[in-house]
Each structure stands twice: as C-alpha cells, then as structure tokens.
Amino acid sequence: MNVLMVSAEMAPFAKVGGLADVVTALSAALAARKHDVRVVMPLYGHLDRDREKIRPLAKLPPLSLRVGHQMHDIRFHMRGSPRSKVKVYLVECPTLYGREGVYSDVNGEAFPDVLARAALHGQAALLLARLLDWPVDVIHAHDAEAVPAILFRSHWYAGREVPGPAGSLLTIHNLAHQDIHPTAGVDTLGLPRSMASYPGLLEFHGKLNLLKAGILAADRVNTVSPTYAGETTTDPEFGYGLEGALAGRGDSYSGILNGADYETWDPRRDQALPAPFGPKDLSGKDVCRNELLKELGLKQEDGKPLCGFVGRLVYQKGLNLLLPLLGRLAEDGFTFALLGTGDKKLEAAAREAAARHPDKVAFVGAFDESLAHRIYAGSDLFLMPSLFEPCGLSQMYSLRYGTLPVVRRTGGLADTIIDAGRKRGNGFVFEDASGEDLLAALRRAEVLWEDRKVWREVQVRGMECDFSWGRSAARYEKLYRAARRAGKGM
Ligand code: ADP
C-alpha cells in the first residue's frame, strides 16, 4: 500500500516526545513489510540541512500556497537518499517554518500561528502526492497538527483529485493535545464557516477543535494502547471532553500498542553507553551505573537503588507525586538521576531538590538524547508515576536496559508492565495517583533489591520482553485496509 504519513515530528531530527519515535519506527516496520511509506513534515528553521542531508527536490518547482488571506512561498525537499526505504519529504516555508521549534519557541511559548502552520502542512502533503502523481491508499495523520490533511481531503479534494482512494486514519498520541482555537481560525483553514459553528465538525464549546474534527472526519481512528482506548471513551479525565466523540466511533476507534525500536534501543550496541551489556552478561550495566553516578556527581549507598526519570516535565507524568518525595527518599539513601524539560515550576522544584541533596539528586533540565540512553542503562529503577499515559515508550526502553520500571496502572503502562509480585512480573505497578502509593511501590522495590537473585530474574525477564514493531505494524495494515475501503466509498 502507498501510505502518506503526515506528522510534525520524526526522530531523531525533529523530536519533542514519543510521537517522533513512533513515526520513524512504524514507517520503517511498514516499509520492511513492502509498503511504500512517505512522510511529509515541515522543514523547521533549526534543522541542519547539511548534517541531515536535506536537499531541494529538483524536479518540483517552488510554489506559492494560500493559507487564510496570505500567500506563502514553499519548496519541497527530501531527507536522505532517494533510495531510502522510507521517503521523507520536508516542506520549506520561511514565513511559517523558518524558525526554531516544532510547536513552540525556545522559551516554551506556543507559536501564535500554529493553525496556519498546520494548514500549510496538510495542504502541502496532499499537493505533493498530486505533483508526484503518486496514488495514495491511506493518509495517516498523526495528532491534531495533521488533521487539516484529513479535512482538506474530504472538502477541497472531494472534487479535485488526490490520486488513489486516499482513505484516512487518524492516530491520537495524546488526548490532552487537541489544538483548540477561536472559531475565526476556520478562515485560516480555508474551510466553510459553518464547520466552526454547531453542529459543524470543528465546533467545540464555542471554539474550534482540530482533534475533534479529525475524530469525526477520519475513516478510522486509533490511539496507542488498548487500555488508553478504553479509558478515553469512558472517562472525562482521560478523554478531555472528547470521550463522547470517541465512543461514538464504536468499532472504528481502537488501540494499537506502540512498539519499541530495538535498532536504536539495544544496550548490546548502544554507542551512547560506556560499556555494552545484555541479559546474558550484565557486568556492563555496573560500568554504566558507575559512570552515570560520576557524570552526575552522585553517590549511591549500598543497598539503595538509583532511580532514573527521563521525560517531559508536565502534569501528565505524575511529577506532583514524585517531587514531594525526593527529599525524604534522598535522606533514606535513594539516588535520583532526573532528565527533562517543560513546566518551569516543575523544573524549579526538581532543581531545588538537587541543590538540597547534591550527592543524592541530580537534575538536568535539557533535552539530551545521549544522556537519556545513559540514564536508561545506568539506573536500577525507572520512574513513571504517570496520571495518564497513552502508551509510553520509556518503560519499554528501560525494560530492555535491565532497569525495572515503577509505573502507575494506566494506559499503555497497564498494557506493558506486570508487578514483580505476580507471575511473569517485570516491574512495579501501583494503583492510585497518590504519593503514598508511589512510595509503597518504591519500598517494595527496595525490599526486592536486597534479594539479588529474584531481582536478577525480574530484570532478565524484562530484558527479554519483546515489544518490537512487527505485530503492531500488522495491526496498522489491517486498519489501512479498512480506511482504504472507506476511501473508495465501499
Ligand atoms: P511522551 O510521548 O508523552 O513524551 P513517551 O514515553 O512515549 O512519552 O516518549 C518520550 C520519549 O522522549 C522517549 O524516547 C524519551 O526518552 C524522550 N525524552 C523525553 N524527554 C527527554 C529529554 N529531556 N531528553 C532526552 N529524551 C527525552
């Protein structure tokens, strides 16, 4: 099948969170199954064109596209070799994408023209398929940012041609990010104003909601784990107001667990680590732990685990449960290696804990891919006390690196982690979104840590868990077939 992926992120060169990893790994898994996958994304101003091998597509001329009342000059580029299995196209548009940042600027302020950026992205993706005369079986849109491609397909391109049936699939990576704007934004999208007033697709409590429109308009909708799919149709805490729209999709809304890309995430050949290791020989992990402690200026106490955290510093990740416990646990001898950026208040709280316990708590407020690998490898426990978690990749990575995840039972965490107290256990699971429950899980980990033999068994079982993309890619194929049938009007 010919799959047109529309995404604002792609690892490793334009990554904000898990979406980037998913687009890269899923595309590769689908290409390995002989599909022609082409990704279209914006050419962000901060991308180093030489290093990323980004070159203009000579056969397509520069063009001018209208977004709202403004014309924008664009040019298509390609990343990597034209013979690559997955073709990556980038849309250059100096007026809309010519600055640093995917969704927000360097200070974390969301761009005021996110809607115009999304509108151009969607238009350019469909136009590219036409210019290349490449018949599209499925438009695979990732998150709200890519929804305009679906809306334009059914409105502008209903009469004009996108070659191929061009059925559509919307994958929701996080219901908390919906892209809500004032209704006047409908002009930026160039869609009929009626769509932004009740009962129009875009209307949402007097505003315009891109994700909602995508949920109603796409031929198929999915999210990134079965448990999160269930949670988001029944509970407003997870559905963020869209639970009714999702429930209304019935069987055409489903959950497919993300996979981990074990080409990138494999401690046996990870270039970021000071020493390799695997389930048969874990001695390299001790080297990784010692080097990490040195790198971050930490001192680990005998009998106490080193706890890692890598992630966006946002409410979702359960930092309000974790941060208040740091002082107490540090005094008990636990050590912490924390890496993340995000909410300024949470960053300040983490920095403060590190300043108060310099040899027990380290906080690095940066996005650092290489350090992330070393934290996954060097830690004994990985903390993910998320309030909700659509899928989560970090727990899969830490399993592979022999680091036992401590997770709350929610979304994809519930689908991947089994408590060590149970058969086939691979981590620690707690129920309530409370500091007490997290603390109790850490205390259980502390007790198990004493029993090196059992710890090793749980660790090796985790390292042998297989969350590779093959099975999930086959499930996406099935959805693509259903979307293509719908695109053909069948
Ligand atoms: P989410 O998509 O909600 O951010 P996931 O667990 O699905 O969460 O994916 C997060 C990805 O982003 C992981 O690959 C994680 O290692 C990476 N990541 C998050 N924050 C940082 C950071 N500050 N530095 C390096 N990698 C990070």
> How does pLDDT run across 117-166, given as a tens digit for each residue?
999 999 999 999 999 999 999 999 999 999 999 999 999 887 778 899 99
The two tokens of residue 137 are 């079986």
Share of residues in the chain with pLDDT > 70 (%):
100
Strand 70-79 and strand 54-56: the pairing is antiparallel
For ligand 1, atom 4, name the residue with the nearest CA: 17
How far away, in angstroms, is 17 Cα from ligand 1 center? 5
**pLDDT attached to residue 471:** 92
Q: First CA to last CA across the chain, in angstroms?
A: 17
Distance CA 245, CA 215 (A): 7
Distance CA 482, CA 475 (A): 11
**pLDDT attached to residue 159:** 73
How far away, in angstroms, is 40 Cα from ligand 1 center? 22
Confidence at 218, pLDDT banded by 50, 70, 90: very high
How far away, in angstroms, is 180 Cα from ligand 1 center? 24
- Give the lowest-confidence range in 144-148, 221-225, 231-235, 484-488: 484-488
Ligand 1 atom nearest to CA at 384: 6
Give CA separation, 85 vs 11, 33, 478, in Å.
16, 11, 21
Nearest to 261 by CA among 1, 50, 45, 472: 472
Distance CA 176, CA 211 (A): 10
Distance CA 436, CA 71 (A): 56
**pLDDT attached to residue 254:** 98
Confidence at 239, pLDDT banded by 50, 70, 90: very high
Across 397-414, average pLDDT? 98
The answer to whether 238 touches 388, Cβ cutoff 8 Å, is yes
**pLDDT attached to residue 329:** 97
Evaluate if residue 252 carries a pLDDT over 80.
yes
Mutate to test the pocket of ligand 1, among 9, 367, 370 (most ligand atoms within 8 A of CB): 367
Ligand 1 atom nearest to CA at 340: 23
Distance CA 6, CA 61 (A): 21
How far away, in angstroms, is 215 Cα from ligand 1 center? 25
Pocket of ligand 1 (CB under 6 A): 17-18, 21, 310-312, 339-341, 367-369, 372, 391-394
For ligand 1, atom 24, name the residue with the nearest CA: 367
Which CATH number does 283-467 carry?
3.40.50.2000
Burial level of 209, CB count in 10 A (0-12/13-18/19+)?
Answer: buried
Q: Where are the domains of the chain?
A: 2-259+470-488, 283-467
Across 47-68, average pLDDT? 96
The answer to whether 73 touches 62, Cβ cutoff 8 Å, is yes
Ligand 1 atom nearest to CA at 11: 14
**pLDDT attached to residue 82:** 83
Share of residues in the chain with pLDDT > 90 (%):
95
How far away, in angstroms, is 67 Cα from ligand 1 center? 32
Nearest to 309 by CA among 439, 407, 419, 426: 407
2-45 residue pLDDT tens: 999 999 999 999 999 889 999 999 999 999 999 999 999 999 99
The answer to whether the 2-259+470-488 and 283-467 domains have the same CATH topology is yes
**pLDDT attached to residue 107:** 84
What kind of fold does domain 2-259+470-488 have according to CATH? Answer: Rossmann fold (3.40.50)
For ligand 1, atom 20, name the residue with the nearest CA: 311
Evaluate if residue 490 carries a pLDDT over 80.
no
Mutate to test the pocket of ligand 1, among 10, 21, 257, 270 (most ligand atoms within 8 A of CB): 21
How far away, in angstroms, is 449 Cα from ligand 1 center? 26
434-461 residue pLDDT tens: 999 999 999 999 999 999 999 999 999 9
Mutate to test the pocket of ligand 1, among 143, 394, 398 (most ligand atoms within 8 A of CB): 394
Entry pTM: 0.95
The two tokens of residue 411 are 């979304």
How far away, in angstroms, is 484 Cα from ligand 1 center? 32
**pLDDT attached to residue 81:** 87
Distance CA 375, CA 473 (A): 29
Interacting residues of 273 by C-beta distance below 8 A, sequence separation 6+: 267, 284, 288, 373, 374, 377
Ligand 1 atom nearest to CA at 173: 2
82-108 residue pLDDT tens: 889 999 999 999 999 999 999 999 888
The CA-CA-CA angle for residues 221, 226, 230, to 5°, reads 80
Ligand 1 atom nearest to CA at 21: 14
How far away, in angstroms, is 323 Cα from ligand 1 center? 18
